[in-house]
Structure 1
Amino acid sequence: MLLQNRLGHTFKDATLLQQALTHRSHSTLHNERLEFLGDSILNCVVASLLFDRYTKIDEGDLSRVRANLVKQQSLYEIAQRLELSQFLRLGEGELKSGGFRRPSILADTLEALFGAIFLDAGFDAARDVIRALYIPILDTVDPKTLGKDAKTLLQEYLQGKKIALPQYNVVATHGAAHNQEFEIECLVPKLDIQVFGSGGSRRAGEQAAAKLALEAVQKAFVKAPATPRKTKPRTAQLKLTGIATIQPDAPDAPLDEPIVAKAAGSAKTAGSTKAGNAVSLPSADVAAPATAAAATSATSNATPLITSKSKTA
């Protein structure tokens, strides 16, 4: 009854529970067929949980997260929380070799229990048990990083900080040819980080080194004070082009006279075809319109858009 209370399900058929807890080393009526069934139910329920919970994650990332949640290590950790090892039915050989602590046996037994609950009370009962076991896990995991290896996480972290990718070098190999251990160096030059990892293959050594490097990089950014942002001094004079300036005491120009605009920092008339020609603005006491002869002369020349008036016009 203790295990059933922890699972949240009371079996109507006690023989299903007994079979789910029985390893093949114990008897011929073991749990491997129930494990096959429970594995499929587990994948279906976890997929449904992820689909409902993470609405903005695409199919690829959902598959990655699900694979991580239903893998042997995850099931083993759940089995340990349930203290499943004390309920196993193992053969004498497995008992002596510590089979009740073996992750593969505990993970397979948990899947067999899911299959047994399905046969005992249907899919909804199995779903409720699995949901109760997995929701606390989902509350603590980050779907963006769950299931990604250390090299991928390190690369993504450095790219987010606009830092060059790490360098991996084989420093040494140890052991016989059939049982070598690789020592790998991981460098992040910009942060002066150098760490070493080892593994039974080059890839395993790189993963071990990347994990240490990621921890070092994250610590470096936590300790590093925020660099104040340098601001460029604003220029004292703003160059404004084409903005008309108002001349004080100037009389209103007649509708048929051209308008003269003065750009800040420039002496050109707006629309003039020759750069550098000075513009003389009319003074307050000059209000007479240009004579017909001056107008005819201005039209016969290069047709400037804006003309200036003078006292002799």
Structure 2
Amino acid sequence: MIPISTLEHKLGIELTNKQLLAQALTHASYANEHNSPDNERLEFLGDAVIGLLMGDYLFHKGIPSEGEMSKKRAQLVCEEALNHYAKKINLAQELHLGKGGELSNGRLNPSIIADAFEAIFGAVFLDQGFEVVKDLFYRVVIPYLDEVYIKDYKSTLQELVQTDRRNIAYHMENQSGPSHDRVFTVSVRMDDIILGVGVGRTKKEAEQNAAREALNILAKE
């Protein structure tokens, strides 16, 4: 019997087809250098699997509104959320990167990590079926939902200013850091008046932080 890999131990699953798991971890930079399949097709499948599982979970939570379920699902399966789940199993250290991927600090690239996390779900689904991948989802995703759920401060702020028929807009103030570790600074404005400024690793995070600061300021007025 082939020994169970470190990652399989973390997942609590022994795949029948070990090549599927190896492919799930293989970034295009490695595949191009070694003439092997990359994880893009498995990532496509895994994205659908995770989306279905999250939709099923939220549906059975009894959330009455389709819009609210859609909003929660989008937040809980976004790139930032997938990276958070991936960190729990130290996925970055398991990736197969080529020289180019390593030189560009691919193990710190949120997109690469999120894609590999989805690809693992695609591989497990193909190899073990729906019930096993669902069990995996409930072990490596569900326990951490409260840690990644982000309150939608932007929607709250928009609803607040709409009562006065005002419009708000978000402006990029600054970008800094290397491509794999960007820091964004965004302001939120109403009638050209800055209501708040936020900083984040992504534009969306910075916008949410700007809206949160604006709400805090408005609450004190």
Superposition TM-score tier, normalisation by shorter sequence: 0.7 to 0.9
* Shift, 1:134, TM fit: 2.4
What corresponds to 2:197 in structure 1? 197
Q: Work out whether 1:37 is the aligned partner of 2:41.
A: no
- In 2, are the aligned partners of 1:20 and 1:34 still within 8 Å (CA)? yes
- Counterpart in the other structure of 1:93: 100
Q: Is the 8 A contact 2:86 2:113 kept in 1?
A: yes
1:210 maps to 211
Cα 1:141–1:51 change in 2 (3 A) is: farther
Amino acid at match of 1:2: T
Give the Cα separation in 2 of the matches to 1:132 and 1:69: 15
User: Offset at 1:5?
Assistant: 2.1
Match of 1:127 in 2: 134
Does structure 2 conserve the Cα–Cα contact (< 8 Å) formed by 1:185 and 1:195? yes
- Aligned pairs, how many? 197
Structure with more relative contact order (C-alpha pairs < 8 Å, separation 6 or more): 2
Partner residue in 2 for 1:63 = 70
Structure 2: which amino acid aligns with 1:107? A
- Which AA in structure 2 matches 1:11? L
CA RMSD for the aligned pairs? Answer: 3.6
Residue 26 of structure 1 aligns to a residue whose secondary structure is helix
Which structure would you say has the larger Rg?
1
Contact 2:186 / 2:206 at 8 angstroms: preserved in 1?
A: yes
Kept in 1, the 8 Å contact 2:8–2:14? The answer is yes
**1:29/1:151 CA distance change after superposition, 3 Å:** closer
What residue number does 2:157 align with?
154
Alpha-carbon distance, 1:154 to partner: 2.8
Q: Deviations over 1:214-247 (max 9, x none)?
A: 23456x49xxxxxxxxxxxxxxxxxxxxxxxxxx
- How big is each residue's C-alpha offset from its partner over 1:53-97, in whole Å with a ceiling of 9 and x where there is no partner? 1x1421111111111111111111111221111110011011011
Deviation track 1:259-305 (CA, whole Å, cap 9, x = no partner) reads xxxxxxxxxxxxxxxxxxxxxxxxxxxxxxxxxxxxxxxxxxxxxxx
Cα distance between partner residues in 2 of 1:58 and 1:109: 31
Instruction: Answer yes or no: is the 8 Å Cα contact 1:186–1:210 preserved in 2.
Output: no
Q: Specify the alignment match of 2:82 in structure 1.
A: 75
Structure 1, unpaired ranges of 5+: 175-180, 188-193, 222-313
